[in-house]
Structure 1
């Protein structure tokens, strides 16, 4: 696995490729990763299973992919995430608790999607 020994890696930029999906556990050893950029790929879903290994992630860019839906558990392991950019996808719906647990989130950008309704749950 190409990323296996990169335990000290802080930033990974995979922008502008044709990534559709990721092998399970590809980020398992990237314990120091703080910045991850998937901009301009062809992801159909938030790569939740792989993101669970990036517990120190501070910034995540999933812009300009083909993501349609953000589930409740999509970002649950990213407790230290402060910036999330999901612009230019085809998101038409967010689960009501899609961003629960992101207590350190300071920037959320959902521009240029297909959202028709944003619910508030009290």
Structure 2
């Protein structure tokens, strides 16, 4: 019986030591997992904040894109008005140039014609020698 008690006691001590070792291992594993969970929660928080910041940036960029489109449309209208004004100005200048070319071409054609000299004095008579001269 004593041998049975000794065996039983040794068995209990071994089981107790094994149980304690397993408990320590599981406790370390639990602490590691808790630390990992905390780390992952901090990562999730940081990523969530980054996502929120990026969403705000996207919204701001969309507003800027809309404004840029409106500005571009306004600039295009101004450009079209300027082009229209320039074309009108070109047409007016062409008409003025044509008018001036016609005007000065007529003047030049008159200038190229030989002017008629003054009319000869009236009353030229036939040439005769002076009767008083000898």
TM-score interval, normalised by the smaller of the two chains: under 0.3
Q: Which has the larger radius of gyration?
A: 2
Which structure would you say has the larger RCO, counting Cα contacts within 8 Å and 6 or more residues apart?
Answer: 1
Give the structure with the larger helix fraction: 2
